Amino acid sequence: GENVEQHPSTLSVQEGDSAVIKCTYSDSASNYFPWYKQELGKGPQLIIDIRSNVGEKKDQRIAVTLNKTAKHFSLHITETQPEDSAVYFCAPRGFQKLVFGTGTRLLVSP
């Protein structure tokens, strides 16, 4: 965790396109790499996570890839749908306080 950045801060795609959000972190002790989705007026909710002994994990249209050497991991959403429109946060974690990335606003246009 500690210094956590996300790119891009805003992402606009057409329905059916793919979206990729990247998260970089500074703490080499991080070993848990989740992504959260926050819909309007709600609290964030976990959508996918990966642990440091795995390089990639997939769950239907979403996937997370991890490059621990370079200290970054990415969220991939394929075949985007309007209901994917939300703010996405990463929160890499080791044995310390829970700090979130800067957030990415994804807008999927029909």
Partner 1 sequence: NAGVTQTPKFQVLKTGQSMTLQCAQDMNHEYMSWYRQDPGMGLRLIHYSVGAGITDQGEVPNGYNVSRSTTEDFPLRLLSAAPSQTSVYFCASSYSIARTEAFFGQGTRLTVV
Contacts for 4 with CB less than 8 Å, ≥ 6 apart: 23, 24, 25, 26, 90, 91, 92, 99, 100, 101, 102
User: Residue 2 interacts with partner 1 (CB under 8 A)?
Assistant: no
Residue (of 36, 39, 54, 52) closest to 86 by Cα position:
39
- Asked if 3 interacts with partner 1 (CB under 8 A), we say no
Q: Candidates 20-28, 58-66, 67-75, 98-106 — which segment interacts with partner 1 by CB under 8 A?
A: 98-106
Which residue of 20, 63, 99, 107 would you call a contact of partner 1, by CB under 8 A? 99
Question: How many residues form the binding site for partner 1 (CB under 8 A)?
Answer: 25
The CB-of-64 to partner 1 minimum distance in angstroms stands at 14
| Contact mark string toward partner 1, 48..67, x via CB under 8 A | -x-x----------------
Question: Does 73 participate in binding partner 1 (rule CB under 8 A)?
Answer: no
Interaction between residue 110 and partner 1 (CB under 8 A): no
Q: Confirm if 71 and 26 have CB atoms less than 8 A apart.
A: yes
Coil, strand or helix: which one is 109?
strand
96 token code pair:
């310390």
Question: Which residue in 18, 8, 27 sits closest to 68, CA to CA?
Answer: 27
User: What is the contact surface with partner 1 in residues (CB under 8 A)?
Assistant: 31-32, 34, 36, 41-46, 49, 51, 89, 91, 93-103
